Structures are given as structure tokens and as C-alpha cells.
Amino acid sequence: MARVVLILTLAAAVVCGFLGSLVVGPAALTWKTSLFAVLGGDNEAARIIIQEIRLPRALLGVMIGATLGLSGAALQGYLRNPLADPGVLGISSTAALGAVLAIFTGASAAWSFALPSAAILGAGVAVVLLRVLAGKNAGTLTLILAGVAISSLAGALTTLTLNLSSNPFAALEIVFWMLGSLTDRSMLHVWLAAPFMIVGWICLFASARTLDAMTLGADVAQTLGTDLRRAQALIVGGTAVAVGAATAIAGAIGFVGLVVPHLLRPLVGAQPSHLLPASALGGAVLVLAADIAVRVIEPSRDIKLGVLTALVGAPFFLWLVLKTRREAL
Amino acid sequence: MTALAVDGLTVRFGRKLIVDNLDFKTNSGKVVGVLGPNGAGKSTLLKAILKLVPSSGSVKLHNRSIHNYTAPELARAIAYLPQDRDIAWPMTVAAVVALGRLPYQGLMSSLTDEDNAAVEGAMAALGVADLKTRRISELSGGERARVLMARALAQNAPVLIADEPTAGLDPAHQISLLSLFRNLAGQGLLIVLTLHELHFAAQWCDHLILLQQGRLVANGQPSKVLTADRIRSVYNCNVRIIEDADGPIIVPISETNIRSNNSG
């Protein structure tokens, strides 16, 4: 019962955030005009602003937030570790590397699906590398170190690519894109990312029972009849596809997948399967709120969404590391 | 009826032989103790029976090879209580015990009345019903061990495999756990457990399997398996055997006078 209330509350918050995202922006439109313009309306300028600028931004906020929250919760459950997150583990940075390579080789100009595909491939490589580097029953430290190594390597390769770029303006554009933002995205981006994300979400939700069983360790999970290989494929594949698509569209938005599951875990009785839907909604709320915040704090300058989430998320991560260490002692 | 038949079971980790060509069988309704010094291959034997490690030879559960069971079928046939009592998330006691019902559930379905009855029954049998709304992280080591045992019991499998279930429990809870095993065996379950307490093995088990370096040293009734000479050669330890109404009490003793250094 408490869980239903929580889910409904979070869903209501997503709706509020979504409407808020439509209403807030540099063009001075009243909230009435904004909301009417979604459905068409007779104010042509408002209709264009809302339908072509703010609506895709709000939709991507929901989709990307849900992806990050959901994949964070699934990774934490699967790796049995509260510090797991697509950003911390280097999955976002390898996805970004894939995307950058697609842009620089010209593949993304030739075929629009090349960008998300390359990002997804990059994310997949990171998850596989993590498993290989950190082993099956990795401790927190090994896992984080493996994530740091993967992140640094991907970062270095991305920098190298930018370094070798002959066009400084293109390089600058890529740098800004990598900071993570939902500004100036169109409905095309929504349609490009949606199929990948939906497939990713389905994979991650399908692993819910296995995540519960994993609470007692891999051996017991297996004796409870769960197929760990299938679960691994679902979680690795689902995370790579969804986070890859999110990164391809919005760049790296860190720490959402870390913060959201952690805050919501006590409210769902810590059960991994119950955390999945709550984290997806919570992630959407957080990204929508952060994206509204960057518009409200400095409307004249384009503060990047990824910068804001990192400013809030990194100290939170440090606190979490300290807390985990204290509990382990 | 033969519940468990192990034939030529061999497990290798790399080149190292961990379990070496084991044969034994046992009927339902028994408490079977697997004994042996540290590193004898006891846990690995249990894991091989559970299909958790690759093995050669055959393991038959109710006359059917474990390799012919689907994963959910095997989960309903055999429950496992590992030595490791790690629980990743601070779930409630009731939620942890309910994990034992996963083999009976679909992807979306929630707990049925039957599931709830099994969970309640298991918690009552282990005396943890009062703790059901508590977080697992708030419990003592012994309470946690009993909750995990209740989880395995909730699985309602005819065979229960337990790796050192008495370790870390106080004497009263050790005895109540062993009595529970005897009760379950009385209801027709097969319990296979590893243990280090030779006196428990002698008094509470129907059948013992003694391992040394992966090989079967002795197999049979406790009084036949646990002789002073055999214990000395396998465990490298002297024991005193005191006859008691429920079976011998076997106590490890020192070869030298324990307090000789302090005396005088």
C-alpha cells in the first residue's frame, strides 16, 4: 500500500515537472498560453516555441531521467553495490566516446542512427569490460577502480579524437555536447532515442526477479531457479542500449543513477524489484527539475545540465563512499 | 526410495582435484552429515550436487539426473543454505524469507495465499515470526542465520542442503536447529549438512560421509564412521569418546597437558 502511494506521488511529480518544463523558458509566455500551445492553439509563435523547443526538451527530460534512474537501480542490484551508476562505472563516458567517434568519422552525418548505435556499442563495451576487470563477486573498491580506469581511458581517447580534429569549431561543439544538456533538441531526437530506450527499459524490468534473488548472492539466486546468464544479458544489454541512447542525445549526465536509487531505497523496503519503477520515476523527476533549474538560475547563459547534476551529485557520492566505509568497519 | 545418488562425482578447479570420484546414496527422511577437515571438499561437494560448479560423474535426485531438471524444477526440488550469510540490502525479515518463494512465481505475479502460508510457517519454525517487520541489518548474527534458514525452508523443497548451518549459533539455537532438521526428516525431507562439531554429527545424523582431500574415507552410520583411530588419522586430532544415551559425545582433546606452562 505504501508502495502504491509512493509510485503515485512520484508519477504526480513527473507530471508536474513535465508541465513545469513546458512553462519555463526565456520566451515570456504565460502558463496558459504555453499549455494551450501544446494542443495547437491559435498563437503561432507560442505553438512553435512550445511544440518544437520545449516539448522535445521536456519529453527527453522524462526519457533520459527514467533511463538513468532505472539503469542505476538495476546496476546496483545486479552488482550488489550501492555505488554503481552508469556515470561512476564509466558507461556514460564510453558511450560518449562512441558518439564522438561516430561524429568525427562522418558516420553520423551519413546515417542518423549511427550516433545512437555507436554510443550503445561504447556503453556495451564498458559493461563487458567492467565484468572482466572486476570479476564476478567484486567488492566496492575493485568495481569503482575498474570504473575509474574505464572512464579515464574513454576520456583520454575522446580527448585524442578531439586533439586530432582538424576543425576547432566542431571540436568545441563536441566539448559542449559532452557536458550534457537538453537544450536545442528536436522531436527528431525524441524519435531517434525512444525505440532504443523502450527496448532497454523492457530488458531491465524483465530482470526484476533475478535482482531480488541476487540479494542473497549469485549462488542462492541460481538455486532459486533464476538464469543468471539471461539476467546478465538483459542487464548489460538493457543498460547499454538505454544509456547509450541517452548519452547520444544529451551527452553525459552524471550521478542521477547514483542519487535516485539511493534516496528511494528506504522507501521501498530496499527490495530491488520494487526499486526499479520508483527509480525510473524518480530519475525523471530529478532530470526535469535540474533542467528547469538551469533555465531559472541563469536564463541568459546556457548552464549545462550535466554540470549541475555533477555539482550536486559528486559531493553526494563522496558522502556515500564515507558512509559505506563506516558501515564496513 | 533413493532421494540422492552420487556416482563417480569429480570436481576439478583447474588441475586441482577438489572432489575425487565420490559415490554414495541416501534415502529420503534422513539427516546426512558431511564431515572432514577444512579444505576436504565438503562445500564443493554440496555445490556440485546443486549444479553450482561444473562436475563430471552423475548426481541423481529422485532417480533423475540433475542435468535433466530445468532451473525452476531444480529450485523446487532442492533448497540451499550457504555458509556465507551476506544479504546485500536491508530488506525486512518477511521480504527475505519470501525470496524462498521465487521458484513458484512468474515474472509479475505476487505472493499467493500458499506462498504466504509457507513464509509464515517457515518463520514460525525458526522462531523469527516476531522479527518479521524488522530490517535484516538490525539483527544479530544468530537471528540473521535463522532468517536465512527460514528462507531456505520457505522454498518447500524435499531436499535441503545446508553448509555449516550450526556455525555461529549459540548452543540453544544449535540444538533447536538440529531438532528442526530431525523433525523435517521425520516429515520425509532429506537434509544434507556439513558440520565440524563431531558430537552433533554423532548424535543428530542418521548417516555420515567423511571426506579427506576430496576422497571418501568412510560412509555409513555415525558409530561406524566416527572411531577414535579414524578421527585421529583424518583430522590429525585426538578425541575422547564418552558413551551417552543419544550416542557418543566426541570431544577433541590436547595431547599435552593444557595448562602445563602455567602450572606450579
Cβ within 8 Å, pair B88-A219: no
CA A32 to chain centre: 31
In angstroms, the CA B162 to CA B263 distance is 43
| DSSP assignment of B107-123 | SS----HHHHHHHHHHH
Contact indicator for A143, A81 with CB cutoff of 8 Å: yes
The per-residue pLDDT for range A198-224, each reduced to its tens digit, is 999 999 999 999 999 999 998 999 999
The per-residue pLDDT for range B91-123, each reduced to its tens digit, is 999 999 999 999 998 766 678 899 999 999 999
Contact indicator for A38, A55 with CB cutoff of 8 Å: yes
Contact indicator for B4, B50 with CB cutoff of 8 Å: no
Query: Which residue bears the cell 538493457?
Result: A238
In angstroms, the CA B96 to CA B85 distance is 12
Give the distance from residue B96's alpha carbon to the nearest chain A alpha carbon, in angstroms.
9
In angstroms, the CA A148 to CA A57 distance is 31
CA A225 to chain centre: 31
Cβ within 8 Å, pair A214-B88: yes
B122's grid cell:
517457515
> What pLDDT, on the 0 to 100 scale, is given for residue A140?
64
Going by the DSSP 8-state scheme, the letter that residue A300 receives in this structure is: T
> What pLDDT, on the 0 to 100 scale, is given for residue A276?
97
Q: List the single residue in B50, B76, B107 with the smallest CB-CB distance to A209.
A: B107
Strand ranges in chain A using DSSP code E only, listed in sequence order: none
Q: Which residue has the higher pLDDT, B35 or A297?
A: B35
Cβ within 8 Å, pair A269-B95: yes
B154's grid cell:
520457505
How long, in residues, is chain B? 264
Contact indicator for A286, A233 with CB cutoff of 8 Å: no
Asked if residue B34 has pLDDT above 90, the reply is: yes
Asked if residue B33 has pLDDT above 50, the reply is: yes
In angstroms, the CA A227 to CA A159 distance is 40
Please tell me the pTM assigned to this model. 0.90
Query: Which residue bears the cell 564418552?
Result: B242
Query: B218 forms bridges with which residues in the sheet?
Result: B210
Complex ipTM above 0.90?
yes
Query: Which residue bears the cell 518463520?
Result: B123
Cβ within 8 Å, pair A271-B50: no
Contact indicator for B161, B42 with CB cutoff of 8 Å: no
Q: Tell me the residue type at A177.
A: W
In angstroms, the CA B226 to CA B229 distance is 8
A193's grid cell:
532515442
In angstroms, the CA B204 to CA A250 distance is 64
In order along its 329 residues, chain A shows pLDDT tens digits of 788 999 999 999 999 999 999 988 877 777 778 777 877 777 788 888 888 889 999 999 999 999 999 999 999 998 888 888 888 888 889 999 998 888 888 787 788 788 888 998 999 899 888 878 766 655 667 777 888 899 999 999 998 988 888 777 778 878 887 888 888 888 888 998 999 999 999 999 999 999 999 999 989 999 999 988 888 889 888 998 999 999 989 988 888 999 999 999 999 999 999 999 999 999 999 999 999 999 888 877 878 898 898 888 888 888 887 877 776 54
Q: List the single residue in B50, B75, B107 with the smallest CB-CB distance to A206.
A: B107
Within 10 A of A43 (CB to CB), how many other CB atoms are there?
15
End-to-end CA distance of chain A: 36
Mutate which of B69, B70, B92, B99 to test chain A, going by most A C-beta atoms within 10 A? B99
Is B83 touching A (CB cutoff 8 A)? no
In angstroms, the CA B19 to CA A256 distance is 47
